[in-house]
Homo-oligomer: A and B are copies of this chain.
C-alpha cells in the first residue's frame, strides 16, 4: 500500500518557531480547578497539600527539562522560563508547551497520592492548559515575574480576608464579597487585624510570595562580579565550545533544584543569582 499519495498532507503543518534571542515563558494553568477544589475538599483559602503537590510536580519538570532556568508558581498556575539562548525543539512553540504541560500533568497525577493519601483521584482528572510567550529583554522578563508575584500577593491578601470573614466572622460568601468591594490593601490588613487579630505580615512566606524554583549554586555578593552580558547576552551565535556546553550541562544536572518563597521583584534576588540571567552555571554549594 503506497503511502506517497497521502503524504502531501504533511505540508499543511505550519511552523511555529519562537523568535530567537527572546526569553520564553511557558505558563500553565489548572483547568476547571474551582470544581476540582470542591470535589476533593481543598482547604480554604489555601490548601497546603495542593500547593506542595504543584511545587513537587514543577520540581520534577525542572529535573526532566534541564533547559528551564527558573519557574514561579502560585495557586494552580506555574510559569517556566527558558533562557533566551535556548534552542530546545528548535524553539517550536507547540513542542515546548505540550512537553511542559504533559510532563507537569504526569507528575501531578503520579504524585497525587503522596499529598492526598486519603483522597484518591477519580475521573474527570485534573488537567492543565498552557501557552508560550516571548520576552525580548531582561526587564520584560523580570516585569513578567514581578507581575505574577504581585498578583499572588493581591489575591492572597484578598482570599485571606475573604475567608476570615466567612470562617471566623460567620459571613456568607456574598456578604463577604460585598463587604470587601472597593477596599484597598491597607483596609484588608486593618480588617484582618482589628477583627481577627491576624497580622498579615506574619502569614507564611509561601502564601504571600508564591514559590520560586531554580537550580541552586553559591550565592554571589552583589557587585562582587562584573555583569557578564557577554554570555549569549546579545543574541550573537553561541561562542561556547562543545566541551564547555557539555560541562555546563553536567554542572546544571548536578545542581539541586530548590523551592523557595523569596521576593523576586527586588533586584537583590537576581543580583545574588547571576546564573539565572547569564545561563552560566555557578558554583555547586559544598553542603547541600
Binding site for B on A (CB under 8 A): 1-3, 5-17, 19-22, 28, 31, 60, 63-64, 84, 93-95, 97-99, 101-110, 121, 123-140, 143-144, 146-147, 150-151, 153-154, 185, 234-237
Quote the shortest CB–CB distance from A92 to chain B (angstroms): 8
Chain B residues near A94 (CB, 8 Å)?
Answer: 93-94, 97, 129-132
Inter-chain CA distance A101–B131, complex, in Å, is: 13
A147–B9 alpha-carbon span in the complex (Å): 8
Chain copies in the assembly? 4
Checking B3, B107, B109, B128 against A98 with a beta-carbon cut-off of 8 angstroms, the contacting residue is B128
Chain B residues with CB under 8 Å of A63's CB are 123
Give Cα distance in the complex from A14 to B14, angstroms: 11
Q: Is B125 within 8 A of A107, CB to CB?
A: yes
Residues of B within 8 A of A8 (CB): 143, 236-237
Chain B residues, CB < 8 A from A101: 98, 101-102, 105
- Taking a contact as CB atoms under 8 Å apart, the answer to whether B139 and A236 are in contact is yes
